[in-house]
Structure formats: structure tokens, C-alpha cells
Amino acid sequence: MKRSPKKNAPSSSVDLLALADYVEQFSSKTVVLFGDFVADEYQFGEISRVSREAPVLILRHRETHFAPGGGANAANNLAALGTHIYPISAVGDDPAGDALIAYFRSKHVDVSGIFRVRDWTTPTKTRFLAGWAHTVGQQVLRVDREPQSPLPEAVRKKLQARLEGKLGSAHALAVSDYGFGVASPALLRQALSKQNGAPPVTLDARHNLHDYAKAGITSATPNEAELESLHHVAIGQNLGELTRCGAATLAAMKLHALLVTRGRDGMALFEPGDQLTQISVYGSDQAVDVTGAGDTVLAAYTVALACGASPLAAAHIANIAGGLVVMKRGTATVTRDELLAVLRRQAGGAAS
């Protein structure tokens, strides 16, 4: 008969100053980010009138805003956290690819691992936001542009060679697989097999998480919906179902830890030995915008592990980072200073 998972100590017993010490070390670590780069484009407009051609709103264009999305957002969050980030990815030889490379150059990030691919489309999500003057725009439409062909084999070989070359000097590897063909279990397995003592390897995969079972992953950060899809169940408030699915994935992938993000229900951390820790959501459970929150969690969790934090300590840091970023509009980041301010303020309150 399977034992019920043991619950670790509640969040209130976490050593907040110890967490702050890990965050202080972020700037001394190098993290390789390998995965799909996505361009997030925001088209803002004021509602002009209803069209005579069809029952749709006509927007008077006000401005266009660009932000890194997908794996590029995870890389951007790592940079904001003060980490030395080396991204390895591919983009199309198109305006969206140009914008992503220009953005990271402006952040003084080494872009030599971002390969341009001719006749390939940079994944782009264009969101149209409508509102009246002096009101907050609401998203009314999203248009996605995706690659229509797989990455050329020559590009995949370049990605693998660059990954193998950079892993030796990295304190951690974060893999962000949005299903656009940059990251693959086979490529990752080959690259990691050539490492002598690989660093922590974290994974955020939108689809087919279990395909990475033998790829050398040490931690994964799926959200609850992805875990449900993986096991073909609905979890909701059913702790038993959450426990069963989490434990099954942890065992199937032979992970050191599985961190499941659950929106307003916080996080669930699974570790070997039937250990399950539930972490309450940080801040308000009424998020302003959850776009890209999983990328922030992956970034904060990965660099905390790179600093030597336990999976539980890293999960608490990632939980705070995720709670901060969902209170910002659009694809956003959390800085190291923001994290430190929260930890020190909470530590001061706990001590008083």
C-alpha cells in the first residue's frame, strides 16, 4: 500500500535571511538558457467606433510595445535577477528575430548563441489591447505566427555544439521548451552525456514533459494544467489526484524535485521519499496578468539552485518572484533588488 506523502514544514518556518543570502549570490552565477525564443508584441489602441462592415471594434492605433517571450522571457528574467546569462536559441531572419537580438544586446547579454535561420519564422504572439482614453487596455485578440518548417539539421548541430561548449562553465542550465523545435530531448541528452558532472538542469516544457525522462533533467517546473494534460485528469482541489500525478512524474523522470505551479493555490514541491510541500501563493491571489509567470518561476528557481539552495529553498524564492511578476501587466520581469526587499522586509516583520 502506497504511503501518503509527508508534508514538510510550513512556509512560516522558512529562514528568510538564508533565502536572502542565496539571492545575494545571484550576480556571481552563470546560467545557460536553452530553448525557444518567442517575440511578444502588444498593439495598443483606443476604441474609435463599431465597424459598419461587421460587428467589431475599430481601434485607433496608439503604440506598439515589444517584449521577449517564451524562453526569451526566461532569459530576460535571469538577466533582471543579476545573473550572467548565456542564451542558446534560434530565431528567424525576420523583424521579430532582429528585435529579440537587439533587445538582448541592449541588456549587454552575449547573443553569439542565438542563431539566425533563413526562411524560418520567429514565433511571435501579437496581442491587441483596446481601451478608452485614460483607461487600461483589455486584450481583445491575439494573433500567433509560428514556424511552418522544422529547424534545419545544420542549425540543430550548431545548437548542440554551442550547448556542449558552454555547459562546462555554467552553474546551471535552464531548458525552456515551447514546442517550436529548438529544445529536444535527444539533443539535450547528447549534450549532457558529454559532461563530466553536469550542473543542475531545470526544465519548463509546454508539451510532452515525460519525453525528457532520460535527458538528464534534475528538476522540472510544470504548471498544474500541464500536469493535468500529461496524466489526462482534472486536479482542481483534489489533493489526492495532485499527489498521484506529481509523484508519478517525479518517479518516471527520476527527478531530484518537481515544482508544480498552481496559480492562486500556490505551488506544490515533490521530492523523493514521498515528500510533498505545499507553498501558499505569495501576495494577492488576484493576479493582474499571468503572462510569462512560468518563465519567471523557472528563472528564479534555476539560479537559486545554482547558488546551492535546496529545492525547497529555491521553490520559496521562485514563489515570491512569481507572486511579484503577476502583479505587473504584460510580459514582465522581477529584479534581484525586488526579491531582496521582500525577503528583508518579511524577515524584519518576523523578528519583531
Alpha carbons 224 and 259: distance in angstroms, whole number: 10
Contact call for residues 30 and 109 (beta carbons, < 8 A): no
Query: Edge-to-edge strands of the sheet including 219-220?
Result: 6-7, 275-279, 267-271, 257-261, 219-220, 201-205, 172-177, 30-35, 84-92, 114-117
295 in catalytic set: yes
C-alpha grid cell for residue 251?
518517479
**DSSP H helices in 115-214:** 153-167, 185-193
Per annotation, catalytic residue among 40, 204, 265, 295: 295
DSSP string, 28-62: G-EEEEEE-EEEEEEEEEEEEEE-SSSS-EEEEEE
Crossing angle (nearest 10°) for helices 185-193 and 153-167: 40
Cell numbers 524562453 correspond to what residue? Answer: 71
Q: Which three cell numbers stand for residue 153?
A: 539539421
Vertex 100 angle, CA 95 and 105, to 5° = 120
Beta bridge partners of 260: 268
Question: Which residues participate in catalysis according to the annotation?
Answer: 295
